[in-house]
Amino acid sequence: MWGVLVVLSSACGSPGPSTASATRTGSPLATAVPTPNPVTFVPTSTTNTLNLLAPAGGPPATFVAQVNSITCTGPIGPSDSVAFVQLHSGSRVIRDYADPAHPRTVCQFPADAPIAQLIDAHHVLVGGQNFLYAVVQIPEMKTSWFQLPNIGDQFPGLIAVSPLLDAIAYLTTDVAGNTDKVHLVTSSGDAVVASLTNPHGGRCGSAEDSKQGDYAHSGGHLYVLDQPVPTLNSLLVLEGGQAKLAVLPQGQWALGTQPAMAVWSPTSDTLYYRKAGNVWKWTAAGGARVFLQGVAWYYPSISADGTHLAYAVIRPDGLHNVYLVDLAHSGSPQLIGKGARTTPVFLNSTQLWYRAEGNPICGPGGDQPLVYELGDGSEAASIVDFVGSVWPSTSANF
């Protein structure tokens, strides 16, 4: 699967001893603020955040060539809804949905291009090898490069780049200390702002995994969802280097109660996430409270205008149903679609992309991309095979 810059916090390997002591534990809604600690990486510049992690000697020519082979045509409005997608043809493109009835391709990516993620309508993050990344301004194709420092095989994993382009968050694994460390790079340098429980030797992923973190569109808050194994998941909301919310394991989570599948509202610094079989809502002013009782959601997504929320839930037969919530009018969840549906993600304020599921999944009617129209509740076949990233719509996975 391409398109989502989600890097596991450690390399694949055998789990370590489960009895190792935890560095940070507490109640599921603990609010302890971690003390920032400097790391040994020395910034190369103090004038530009991206330059703080500038690759020594510059990026390799092959990566430069791949990025330079991205082509963009036509204007992109600063508030246009855009999506990084793969079409039926196999082309990987950025589509502009300013006119939902007539979306247009504004950028074309080569077949061998690295994975990418939208930071906003005018900046795309492209990932390469050796923890190297490019921030590309589109459609002008102006590029800045940065590289995460790998000190002593810490396996750095990018969490997110601030939409203000003034901060980079990434994760490293301290195997000896049984922790995952959250780094925040700003004009002040590179600092560790939190250490999270991780007494294991690594794994290769889980169906429960979603984004490891994301900035709110304002750039004011960052969530970090560390997912070493489900029973040890930790969720933080950071403002600068200070924790405003800490949902941490108390020993270990009972399976299914861990924090998971978090998503920001695109119009406010409001975070929604799953925990203990419910959906929770967090704001700086109101704290955390239950938002949807008894809902264990997957793949939540919020429309570009912030008025609608969509998500999937698992059915008794193992397939999924998709529900829609009218956030603007505090509506209750409504089942949508004409059968089993999964992986919903808003392309804009009126169109929701998802896939049909059959029974079995690859049977008749299964695995078909569709677009659901909020206006009339209709479904139509989609030329988009996969959605990798959206903006200003938000998603836990895309």
Residues facing 118 on adjacent strands = 124
Place of tokens 């600063």: 78
Q: What is the pLDDT of residue 24?
A: 29
* CA separation for the pair 304, 324 (Å, rounded): 14
Map residue 267 onto helix, strand or coil.
Answer: coil
Instruction: Single out the residue of 334, 339, 344, 342 nearest to residue 396, CA to CA.
Output: 344
Residues 305-340 pLDDT 10s: 999 999 999 999 999 999 999 999 988 999 999 999
User: What pLDDT digit, counting tens, does each position of 133-184 carry?
Assistant: 999 999 999 898 899 988 777 789 999 999 999 999 999 988 888 889 999 9
Does residue 195 surpass a pLDDT of 80? yes
The mean pLDDT value of the chain amounts to 84
Please identify which residue in the block is written with the tokens 């989570």.
253
Each residue's pLDDT tens digit, 277-300: 999 999 999 999 999 999 999 999
pLDDT at 152: 76
- Report the pLDDT value the prediction gives residue 202, as an integer from 0 to 100: 61
Q: Where do the DSSP E strands lie in 270-383?
A: 271-275, 278-283, 287-292, 298-302, 308-314, 320-326, 334-336, 341-346, 351-356, 368-373, 379-381
- Average confidence (pLDDT) over 191-214: 83
User: Which two tokens mark 36?
Assistant: 């920032």
User: What confidence tens digit (pLDDT) does each residue in 33-48 have?
Assistant: 333 333 222 223 333 5
List pLDDT tens digits, range 353-378.
999 998 655 555 678 999 999 999 99
* Fold assignment, 297-398: Neuraminidase (2.120.10)
C-alpha neighbours within 13 Å on the C-beta side of residue 14: 2
Quote the percentage of the chain above a pLDDT of 70: 83
- Average pLDDT of span 217-238: 95
CB atoms within 10 A of CB 166: 14
125 CB neighbour count, 10 Å cutoff: 21
CA pair distance 128, 111, nearest whole angstrom: 14
| Segment (H or E) for 239 | strand 234-239
Cα separation, 281 vs 265, whole angstroms: 10
Q: What is the mean pLDDT of residues 86-110?
A: 95
Residue-level pLDDT at 206: 76
pLDDT at 44 (0 to 100)? 31
Contact (CB, 8 A) for 262 and 210: yes
> Which comes out higher in pLDDT, residue 394 or 41?
394
Smallest CA-to-CA distance from 162 within 90, 86, 216 is with 216
Question: What is the Cα–Cα distance from 129 to 146, expressed in whole angstroms?
Answer: 12
Token output for 233: 């998941």
3-state secondary structure of 65: helix
Residue pair 397/2 in contact (Cβ under 8 Å)? The answer is no
